[in-house]
Amino acid sequence: MIVGRHAISGDILELTVSDGRIAAVKELDGATGEDLPWLAPGLVDLQVNGWGGHDFNSADIDEETVYAVARGLREQGVRAFLPTVITASQETICNALSVIAGARRKHAWLAGMIPGIHVEGPFISPQDGARGAHPRDHVREPSCEEFDQWRKASGNLVKLVTLCPATEGADAFIRHARARGCLVSIGHSAADTADIAMAAQAGAGFSTHLGNGIASTLPRHPNLLWAQLANSRLQAMFIADGHHVDRETLTAMMRAKGVERSMLVSDMVALAGMAPGRYRQPIGGDVELSADGRLAMVGMATLAGAATPLADGVALAASLEGFSLGDAVTMAAVNPARALGLETGFVEGAAADFIAFHWAPGDRHLRLCETTLAAGLPASPKKTSGK
């Protein structure tokens, strides 16, 4: 049995777990929970490029890459995630998709953690700034035929594609992907208001790391940020690491979208989880990873990727003015789970995909004390106070 406070409702719950499932849920009326851990659904991360030195976009990706990243995320309280493959040649993308799918087929726990794959690019803007760190040589126009090759290579695991709608053939591509059950997101874009409206009308339903992957300077209005914030068809993903979007901007954007249309992602790269220091990247040169998770090109202000776990994004979002811990958990666990069609919540008979942690206003981290994720791996050896 685990006793704790529901991070969204605040209710004191007693959960009985058996064989990886929630056997009983009891609400303890009148109980006080100041010293009890918080209980929340396991986190769901829609954008993970790598972790702990392992990179889904490496030329030598293998099954161990998939296992290692999944294990690392599990320990961080992530119950499900989308491995993210970025702009590259068709051969490279298909190889990564095939390796991820092959690893997933071999282990039930891995299949549970990876409900699909996110392909970010290559159908993005070729412009500097909007393109971000994606290689210009492999940026190309949307191709329905290539998308079908991705589906074949992955065994129909491609569940999310990020593209720029201001590209030739974007409308037809979005409709093609949506008809095959794939979600479409706007990102790495130089699109105008009309392009964004067209994409949303065609079936695009998300904005990838809104506030990033755009030109450094924009017209005051109209521009693609206002257009995406105003479009009620689009749910927005945000990197809440304190570096990609500053606190005030993140606060304003999430207020504009509302908790119900906002999601948190980590967008972690391979250097996430590594010790602070200086590293040499195969492409792009030397980067510096700071103790606070900022990853930037050495001697420059340019970010070189994200390195902050999603759980820390929850802590940051919960500290913003006008937002609560329940809001942050909703944006990092409930909303992305719903987007992928995953069940979530404390219900008898459901998988025990929840986390227990301590957190107080001002804390920069969720202090996980137990992950009870029904994924077949041993649960964390740490014990939960309040048992």
Question: Which residues are catalytically annotated?
Answer: 267
Smallest CA-to-CA distance from 70 within 113, 39, 100 is with 113
46 and 82 in contact (C-beta within 8 Å)?
yes
CA–CA distances in Å: residue 264 to residues 142, 190, 261, 318: 27, 22, 11, 11
133 and 305 in contact (C-beta within 8 Å)?
yes
Determine which helix (DSSP H) or strand (DSSP E) holds 171, and give its type and residue range: helix 170-179
Rounded Cα distance, 155 and 162, in Å: 19
329 and 8 in contact (C-beta within 8 Å)?
yes
Calculate ∠ Cα 222-228-230, nearest 5°: 80
Calculate ∠ Cα 352-355-358, nearest 5°: 155
Instruction: Give the max Cα distance, the chain.
Output: 63
159 and 340 in contact (C-beta within 8 Å)?
yes
**How many residues are present in the chain?**
387
Q: Helices H, strands E: what count in the chain?
A: 11, 20
Calculate ∠ Cα 85-115-228, nearest 5°: 60
Smallest CA-to-CA distance from 156 within 192, 138, 136, 182 is with 182
- Please give the structure tokens belonging to residue 59: 């030329």
Rounded Cα distance, 313 and 266, in Å: 7
303: which strand partners? 296
